[in-house]
A and B are shown apart, each in its own frame.
Chain A
Amino acid sequence: MIEFNEFSFRYREGAEPVVRDITLAIPDGCFVGITGAAGSGKSTLTYAVNGIIPHCYPGDFYGSVTVEGCDTVDTSLTDLSRLVGSVCQDIDSQMVSTVVEDEILYGLENFAVPKDEIPGRVDEALAAMGIADLRDRTIDSLSGGQKQKVAVASVIALRPKVLVLDEPTAELDPASSVAVFDLLSRYARENGTTVIVVEQKIALLSDYADMLVIVDGGRIRFADTPDAVLAHSDELLALGVNVPRATTLVNALAAQGLYEGPAVRNVAGAAAVCKEVLA
């Protein structure tokens, strides 16, 4: 369980808090999508989970954030990194090795994982991300999508309870983006891992997330199932948050009196509603 309790944070160099009065409980195994306009405070929320705040970015920290019962202020960054695995937005800044296998080994060796466990962990992480064939490839020969999968594999090899990813598909094509979300979602389900993804691609988030969190001006405006959040599509657009075109279509049908029912989150939902209208 991750719990934000009346959490506010002001960066040392900032005049105002960038997030305010955040209270949110994320159950174990939940796939959470966080989105909002640029500068709304999305990344700051993830920094509070992986301990970058306050351990790396000092400032005024109010309230509390706990991960698996550990207060992120009182717990060392090293101990937190065993609980929370993070994948940065800029993948190249995360890579420390020249070969894929070495990249996976790096974290395992630094966490002093027993030597006889390491080969199995490497195999498992490569298989989970579907990149066993890349094991011996040099990092600089990989495409953006392949690097993304290597970064995730190097983190899940450490078996963290929580995975935090900041715009993991920003530079990926649609098919690769779906593939990364498929892999993350399956891995989370099979291992009970909590996944927190910051993302602008609302259609992907809506399709995969159990909980959608909309941040605006440093405050949480919505935190609910995607269907419940997308029912407020006009408010979302006013906040500068996009909604999937499938949702827009069904909302337009409802506005025309052609459909009475809940909002939909994806193409399959919209197609089902259209069939209902045609029936």
Chain B
Amino acid sequence: MIEFKNVSASYDGELAVLNDVSFTVNDGDFVAFVGTNGAGKSTTMRLANGLLKPTAGEVLVDGVPTTALKTSELARRIGFLFQNPDRQICCNTVREELLFGFAALGEEGPAAEARVDAIIERFGFEAQAEPYLLNRGTRQLLALASIIVLAPPTIILDEPTTGLDFRECVKVMEVVRDLNEAGTTVIMVCHDMEVVGDFARRVIAMTAGRVVADGATFDVLRDRRVLKEAHILPPQVTEVSLMLGRGEECPAPVAAANTVPQMVQALAAARGVEATTVEVEAIG
């Protein structure tokens, strides 16, 4: 569990980049932080994993203030995926990269090697490949794998899909969804609202260093006040339903639809016909 209690933060000790922020992320949550560049999302992530300490208030990880936890202890509890995998990758082979976290924590040995080998097989990596010669999407997957091989109970992902093509994006997010379904808490900063709508169960919207909304994904993404205040564009089907919902005669299911299948079913029902199953590949 991660708790922010009235947290403020500054990089230079003067200009506050975070103002009186409070929220709790419970074990097993899948939370997306949304908002414009400079809203304070990445600062919040750095506070959560202890890279930055608050200037006021408290950040608690499993009930312990981050100021009282060693970096190595925080690293065991929270894995952090940087937006740019090249800031994270530092070894000459994929296998060495995956073993690096264990070495940093002083946990080398047969058990660590067995976990690395298992994840190499799971991700289909070539163990001796040189990380910097892999394509962008595979480097992102390697950076993600190097975190989850340590099995932290929480992972923080800063823009995990930026720069990836569609297939790479789907691959990364499916791994993240599997982890969350297996119990890992996922906290993600994301600008792609389709990804947020498809994967996150909760959204925290930020603007100018403060939280302006915290709730179920589509409760936040359908709130016109929040959309305006945080300069967020909703996922496209949600936007269509919000536009249609302004009409007085719009059927309620159409005005409430957030996904392609929901909208197709709602429109078919309005026409008095039954729609067959609609399947949509995730992230569109």
Report the Cα distance A256→B270, complex, angstroms.
Answer: 14
CB-based contact B271/A277 at 8 Å: yes
Measured between beta carbons, the chain A residues less than 8 angstroms from B239 are: 267
Stretch at the interface among B52-60, B98-106, B157-165: B157-165
CB-based contact B254/A171 at 8 Å: no
Q: A174-B233, A253-B264, A271-B240 are in contact. Are A258 and B271 (CB under 8 A)?
A: yes
Give the interface SS of chain A, mostly helix, strand, loop or mixed: helix
Chain B residue total in the interface (Cβ 8 A): 50
B83 and chain A: residue at smallest CB distance: A171
CB-based contact A200/B165 at 8 Å: yes
Measured between beta carbons, the chain A residues less than 8 angstroms from B163 are: 167, 170, 200
Which chain A residues (138-194) contact chain B, with CB distance < 8 Å? 143-145, 167, 170-178
Report the Cα distance A241→B284, complex, angstroms.
Answer: 10
Report the Cα distance A254→B159, complex, angstroms.
Answer: 34
Q: Nearest 4 A-B pairs (CB), nearest first?
A: A242-B166, A245-B236, A175-B231, A240-B167
**Footprint of B on A, CB under 8 Å?**
36-39, 143-145, 167, 170-178, 200, 203, 237, 240-246, 248-249, 252-253, 255-256, 258, 267, 270-271, 274-275, 277-278
Report the Cα distance A241→B114, complex, angstroms.
Answer: 36
B275 contacts chain A at the CB level, 8 A cutoff: yes
Measured between beta carbons, the chain A residues less than 8 angstroms from B131 are: none
Contact of A38 among B37, B136, B268 (CB under 8 A): B136
Measured between beta carbons, the chain B residues less than 8 angstroms from A200 are: 163-166
CB-based contact A176/B268 at 8 Å: no
Interface string of B239-279 (1 = CB under 8 A from A): 11001100100110010000011011001101101011010
Q: Contacts A173-B191, A267-B239 given; 6 further ones with Cβ under 8 A? A: A145-B37, A176-B37, A252-B260, A258-B268, A275-B247, A278-B270
B237 contacts chain A at the CB level, 8 A cutoff: yes
The smallest beta-carbon distance between B284 and chain A, in angstroms, is 5
Report the Cα distance A173→B207, complex, angstroms.
Answer: 12
Measured between beta carbons, the chain B residues less than 8 angstroms from A277 are: 267, 270-271
Report the Cα distance A125→B97, complex, angstroms.
Answer: 45
Report the Cα distance A242→B193, complex, angstroms.
Answer: 14
Pairs A–B under 8 Å by Cβ, sample size 13: A36-B165, A145-B36, A170-B163, A171-B159, A175-B232, A178-B233, A200-B163, A241-B165, A241-B166, A249-B237, A258-B271, A271-B243, A277-B271
CB-based contact B35/A37 at 8 Å: no
CB-based contact B168/A38 at 8 Å: yes
B128 contacts chain A at the CB level, 8 A cutoff: no
CB-based contact A37/B167 at 8 Å: yes
Contact of B166 among A37, A167, A175, A178 (CB under 8 A): A37
Q: A271-B243, A274-B254 are in contact. Are A143 and B166 (CB under 8 A)?
A: no
Interface string of B213-246 (1 = CB under 8 A from A): 0000000000000000001110111011001100
B280 contacts chain A at the CB level, 8 A cutoff: yes
Report the Cα distance A255→B260, complex, angstroms.
Answer: 12
Report the Cα distance A258→B278, complex, angstroms.
Answer: 13
CB-based contact A248/B260 at 8 Å: yes
B168 and chain A: residue at smallest CB distance: A38
Choose among A170, A173, A203, A271 the residue with the greatest number of B CB atoms under 10 Å from its CB. A173
Q: A245-B260, A249-B263 are in contact. Are A175 and B236 (CB under 8 A)?
A: no
B137 contacts chain A at the CB level, 8 A cutoff: yes
The smallest beta-carbon distance between B47 and chain A, in angstroms, is 19
A172 and chain B: residue at smallest CB distance: B37
Report the Cα distance A239→B82, complex, angstroms.
Answer: 28
The smallest beta-carbon distance between B129 and chain A, in angstroms, is 16
CB-based contact A256/B236 at 8 Å: no
Measured between beta carbons, the chain B residues less than 8 angstroms from A203 are: 236
B20 contacts chain A at the CB level, 8 A cutoff: no
CB-based contact B135/A246 at 8 Å: no
CB-based contact A246/B236 at 8 Å: yes
A36 and chain B: residue at smallest CB distance: B165
Report the Cα distance A38→B263, complex, angstroms.
Answer: 32
CB-based contact A175/B267 at 8 Å: no
Q: A38-B136, A175-B232 are in contact. Are A240 and B240 (CB under 8 A)?
A: no
